[in-house]
Chains A and B, each alone.
Chain A
Amino acid sequence: MALPKIAVDASVIINEQVSEDVFRLELLCPEIAAYSKPGMFVQVRVDKGMLLLRRPFGIADVKDKSITVFYRVLGEGTKALTSVKSGDLLNVLGPLGNGFKTDAKRPLLVGGGMGLAPLLYLARFYQGKADILMGGRNKQEIFWEEYFRPYANNIFITTDDGSVGTKGFTTSLLPQLLTDTKYDLVAVCGPGIMMQLISDIAAKYDVPCQVSLEKRMACGLGACLSCAVDTKDGQRKKVCKDGPVFWAEEVQI
């Protein structure tokens, strides 16, 4: 059964910069918060100038009446978002899509860059049961650690430059982690190439793996077919409606 979706004017609780180019945006929208599950996303309307389409962001946390997203400043839309202030209204459409498996016994969440955003809510859902493997280019990109700390079991860190954690990529550390611990789920979100490699390794170790995909979206509702992804059996699915979370063996990442 699909959950009810809604578009509402949500009041901004906070829009704060948390690293060089990442902001944390908390929005008051009880109707959306009530039905949000880890891995689902929202489409935020940036009502500025000639911008038209909503911007999709993963739900990174949910409190009673609010949802939190983290966004990286990339182009016009996210740039415009940075000037939003507490008390301003943003129209939010959600909750959209299907989330991660939430009943694993021993999950490992693997995230790179902004891919860590939806995993944060998933980590909280697992109430300390989940291990986290996070990767970033450098120490600044690992600001996530403090957000995950309260909800995570073990946190493993890799950085490209070795400024914190193990030098290298999440893919370099993963085989060791899968050897040491009998995980029953790998949930990964990050750049496409990373998800591809992580899911290949998970397959080799026979651990079920979920990936969270990104495609350009217009409706977010399964109506426009902007977000088509190839499935392994030669069909196409909609990332917004059938995903964004898929089993790795289902889709061409």
Chain B
Amino acid sequence: MNESSRLKTTLLGIPMKSPVMTSSGTFGFGEEFADFLNLDELGGVFVKGTTLLPRRGNDGVRIAETPAGMLNCIGLENPGVDVFLNETLPRIAKYNMNIFVNISGGSAEEYGILAEKLDVDGVAGIELNVSCPNVKDGGIIFGTDPKAAASVVREAKKHTSKPVILKLSPNVTDITEIAKACEDAGADALSLINTLMGMAIDIKTWKPVLGNITGGLSGPCVKPVALRLVWQTAQAVNIPIIGQGGISTAADAIEFFLAGASAVSVGTANFVDPYATTKIIQGLDDYLEKNNLSNISELVGKLKMD
């Protein structure tokens, strides 16, 4: 277990052993990875996208491997917020994780209702998913329009005492515009990026590989794009950024800190190596030690432009 003070972070008023988190939809409810790491070493676990009512998700093939990445169109399959609150949350309480609940709604009001329901002990914060490319209702339509995104933030803030994080979509022309609108609306932090919309075609059958035709691209191949967006967003806002997209190693994570992220989150890499986050935490600590830095915060936004 890593108890180094070099990685201690306080984000959104929450003390964390490290600024390394895990991304929604890639880490289940955390418990699935309990055999591999001490979950409380993580800064937080963003649990699977949760909706008001249970969702079955999409039909047909849900993932496809692509060069150094993958596409997914899970479609927010989840048991619904009530099952999460009554069954899942009590069950995972024993892991002492900072649990962030990623929520999706069909209207701004629905985000508000979800935020209110989740304003309970055991939930560290709420992440507003306005950027899921795989569902028709809700999701991405709120993430591509600054006004709509801001209204979702306001509605959530009104109904919860928990920190509210807005998850930004990369599938927009100017991410900073939406980032600023959400900051103005009261978002406590931003997380980015969600997946990039993509597709794959089977050349034997001439059909789309994915059941949903299109899906969200993630993994190492998206890292340069994610890094650029984090850097641009960091220039535009003053609230903390949780950087993600293709992070597999400590070196990847360091790039995101330098670009301006206050914390990083690991997604697809957990599939490749269930110990990925532990290795990143160790690697970050080694890097700080080698560079005589006493805390990870000394890296944040320190990109040199000369």
Whether A236 sits at the interface, judged by CB under 8 Å, is yes
Q: Is the CB of A219 within 8 A of B62?
A: no
The segment from A108-116, A192-200, A223-231 found at the interface with B is: A223-231
Q: How far is the CA of A45 from the CA of B270 in the complex (A)?
A: 12
Residues 204 to 243 of chain A near chain B (Cβ within 8 Å): 216-228, 236, 241
Asked whether A104 is an interface residue with its Cβ less than 8 Å from the other chain, the reply is: no
CA A223 to CA B45, docked complex, whole Å? 12
Closest to A6 in B: B35
Q: In the complex, what distance in Å separates the CA atom of A247 from the CA atom of B53?
A: 28
Asked if B74 and A226 sit within 8 Å, CB to CB, the answer is yes
- For the complex, give the distance between the alpha carbons of A216 and B48 in Å: 19
**A-B pairs with the 5 shortest C-beta distances?**
A223-B28, A223-B32, A50-B67, A218-B271, A50-B68
Q: Is B69 an interface residue (CB 8 A)?
A: yes
> Is the beta-carbon distance between A228 and B62 smaller than 8 angstroms?
yes
Complex: A54 Cα to B57 Cα, angstroms: 23
CB neighbours (8 Å) of B271 from chain A are 52-54, 218-220, 224
- The reply to whether B272 and A52 form a contact with Cβ atoms under 8 Å apart is yes
Among A45, A52, A223, which residue has its beta carbon within 8 angstroms of that of B27?
A223
A216-B63, A228-B77 in contact; A53/B70 too (CB < 8 A)?
yes
Q: Which residues of A contact B273 (CB under 8 A)?
A: 7, 45, 91
Q: Mark A83-121, 1 if CB is under 8 A from B, else 0.
A: 000000001010000000000000000000000000000
| Docked complex Cα distance between A217 and B63 (Å) | 8
For A226, the chain B residues whose CB sits under 8 A away are 62-63, 72, 74
Q: Does A51 contact B (CB under 8 A)?
A: yes
Contact of B36 with A219 in the complex, beta carbons under 8 Å: no
Are B57 and A228 within 8 A (Cβ)? yes
The chain A residues found within 8 Å of chain B, CB to CB, are: 4-7, 45, 50-54, 91, 93, 216-228, 236, 241
Contact B62 A225 (CB under 8 A): yes
Number of A-B residue pairs at CB separation under 8 A: 88
Cβ contacts under 8 Å, B68 to chain A? 50, 52
Contact at B63–A221, with CB atoms within 8 Å?
A: no
Known A93-B274, A221-B33; contact A52-B26, beta-carbon cutoff 8 A: no
- B28 with A5: CB separation less than 8 A: no
Name which residue of chain A comes closest to B56, CB basis: A236
Contact of B275 among A7, A52, A219 (CB under 8 A): A7
B105 at the interface (CB under 8 A from A): no
The contact of B62 among A45, A216, A221, by CB within 8 Å, is: A216
Chain B contacts of A53 at CB under 8 A? 63, 65, 70, 271-272
Asked if A221 meets B77 with Cβ closer than 8 Å, knowing A7-B274, A52-B65, A216-B63, the reply is no
A223 to B270, CA, bound (A): 10
Chain B positions within 8 Å of A4 at CB level: 35
Given contacts A222-B32, A225-B57, A225-B74, contact A51 B27 (CB under 8 A): no
Q: How far is the CA of A54 from the CA of B272 in the complex (A)?
A: 6
User: Does B80 lie at the interface of the complex (its beta carbon under 8 Å from any beta carbon of A)?
Assistant: no
Which residues from chain A contact B219 at a C-beta distance below 8 Å? 52
User: Given the complex of chains A and B, what is the CA–CA distance between A55 and B63 in angstroms?
Assistant: 13
Interface size class of B (residues with CB under 8 A): 20 to 34
Question: Residues of B with Cβ closer than 8 Å to A?
Answer: 25-28, 32-33, 35-36, 48, 56-57, 61-65, 67-70, 72, 74, 77, 219-221, 268, 270-275
The answer on a CB contact under 8 Å between B63 and A236 is no
Could you tell me the distance in whole angstroms from the C-beta of A231 to the nearest C-beta in chain B?
11
Residues of chain B with a CB closer than 8 A to A50's CB: 67-68, 221
Residues of B within 8 A of A220 (CB): 271
Cα(A220)–Cα(B67), bound, Å: 20
Q: Which B residue sits closest to A55, measured CB to CB? A: B65
Q: Is the CB of B26 within 8 A of A223?
A: yes
User: Can you show 17 pairs from A to B with CB atoms below 8 A apart?
Assistant: A7-B36, A7-B274, A52-B219, A52-B220, A54-B272, A216-B63, A218-B70, A219-B32, A219-B270, A223-B28, A223-B32, A223-B270, A224-B25, A224-B26, A225-B77, A227-B62, A236-B57
- From A7, A93, A222, A227, contact of B28 by CB (8 A): A222
Contacts of A91 in B (CB 8 A): 273
Q: Which residues of B contact A236 (CB under 8 A)?
A: 56-57, 77
Given pairs A216-B61, A223-B26, A224-B25, 10 additional interface contacts (CB within 8 A): A216-B62, A219-B26, A220-B271, A222-B28, A223-B32, A224-B28, A224-B74, A225-B57, A226-B62, A236-B57
Least CB separation from B67: chain A residue:
A50
Residue of B nearest to A218 (CB): B271
Contacts of A225 in B (CB 8 A): 25, 48, 57, 62, 74, 77
Residue of A nearest to B29 (CB): A223
Min distance, Cβ A132 to any Cβ of chain B, angstroms: 31
Nearest B residue to A234, CB-CB: B56
**Bound CA span A236–B56, Å:** 7
Q: Is the CB of B61 within 8 A of A52?
A: no
Least Cβ–Cβ distance between B33 and chain A, in angstroms: 7
